[in-house]
Structure 1
Amino acid sequence: MSNAGANSLKQQDGKSLLKNDHLLNLEVDVLYHLGLDTSSNDLKAMFGDVKYVCMGGTKYRMREFAAYMAVVLEIPQEGKLVNLTKHSQRYAMYKVGPVLSVSHGIGIPSMTVLMQEVIKLMHYAGVKDPEFFRIGTSGGVGIPAGSVVVSSWGLNGVLERTYDLPILGTTRKFPAILDNSLSQELLATASPDDDFEIHSGGTFATDDFYRGQARLDGPFCDYTDADKMTFLKKLSSMGVKNIEMETTAFAAFTGEAGIRSAVVCVTFLDRLLGDQVTTSKSTLLDWQTRPMTVIGRYIVKSYQKTKSK
């Protein structure tokens, strides 16, 4: 019989990542998109030592991050990294010691499916006080391409700091504010030797890559270049530093679960200067490692403190 139906949602320290009493009625909770469940898998044995959940768009990027963390944490890997969600064929998830590295696809719907199942996974594994990070790419607003942005909050398509979700026919608004103390700790990892700038500010999270981001290069466009520039400058005046497609929901879901979280993205261009990414692929791949470096430094320092206690 599954421990999902037998145990209270409360963890031993009185905290719960879950806010759904209906889960108590499940004999088995199937984490369908992860290819895991609470009956067939010993989730505590598999994931009980996780502390840092790191997610990003592509399977390739998150496998590279897992390999990077194995090096910086000095955790030997026996053979190749194993995709722990291989049975689902939807996402990719790798574990290196206390770090879980998982892909979430592109956009809020893809990410939130993955994210909600990972939150449940952390609960069933008995993980206390996990920290969640999103490692991403983005378009900058008034900052140089290749810069790193540590998000303070997410801004939705109608310029509100909320994630709006229709539930039972009514739209509900969830605050999209990220943990300020964690953001400051990440900013403090900056080194004078870094060859990139690191910024703090808001992130505009859209539901569309083209018109939703005021681009002129999509298949449809019913506004002028002047309209676009007015809008982007308005975003900048509001404190927005970059544009992507996930931050509002990421901030809202981790906030509702009581999880410390942060979003760290690299910018591939300055949207005030253009719409298309023209930088070489090799340079973009190099830039993609910059958020990994920032988060990796934080995890190493934090994990060393944990081990010394």
Structure 2
Amino acid sequence: MSATTAADRRYSIKGAVFEAERLAPGLHVTSTPIGHLADISLRAVNALAAADEILCEDTRVTGKLLQRYGISTRLVPYHDHNAAKLRPRILAELAAGKALVLVSDAGTPLISDPGFKLARAVIEAGLPLHVIPGASAPLAALALSGLPSDRFMFCGFLPEKQGERRRLLGALKTVPATLIFFESPRRIEAALADITETLGPRPVAVTRELTKLYEEVVRGPAPEVAAQLAERETIKGEITLVVSPPLDEAPAPETIDEALLEASGHMPAGKAAAEVAHRFGLAKKELYDRLLVLKDKKAQ
């Protein structure tokens, strides 16, 4: 592996060129944007420019990021198919005092990618390991979901086969935390159907194309969200699915009525019903009808 020369260690932001500050020896696990290329820290840009080499999943993907910031650091592919073969060479480079950066195609490395094996090997070898935090699709989806964020569990990709998917969901049924999954747009409707069957009509948020031009969040009880998506001809883009923790006992009717009237005081009836439905895991249409009744009574 040939290292980047000192003359190449520069980066540019909106035409302004900067000399990269020296990077400490070791492996730097570095977060990169999940969509919008501006979602990267100055520290991460500096690390990409200052590194001796960058280990990445796909050189084409990371190459676009480097081009955006005028960085010419050498890229070395590191993925599932070559990781075992490359790890000894990478450890030798680190032992020799090199500064290497590890990135994934998007977001924070080690989250659903082979990087964790390299990080573990670096730790076991007693070599320096650093982290440069930043963008993360699970955290972005959780923030957008409107679901409880005080306790959550990232579960990776749901299994492709229904039987395996339902078994996993069954094992997670009593976990007292918000659940976060990655899912394919081809299987999202099936996943929501299995969530409804296994976990009940919990509130969910289907987040799609996070930070990109067509970013979207569909919120509501799992069966309602599934029905909305079923009306579309196609569903595209990367999806992060957020599922509410187990629901408490059904709220008292008075509590629901109070929530409906409070919400309708500052938003249209449809939105008020949707917000309360999402909060309590109830059907939006039933709450909308109930709100109309409450408004009629109030007007009398």
TM-score past 0.5 threshold: no
Higher helix share: 2
Considering Cα pairs closer than 8 Å and 6+ residues apart, tell me whether 1 or 2 has the greater RCO: 1
| Max Rg structure | 2
Higher strand share: 1
Q: So what's the TM-score if we normalise by structure 1?
A: 0.30
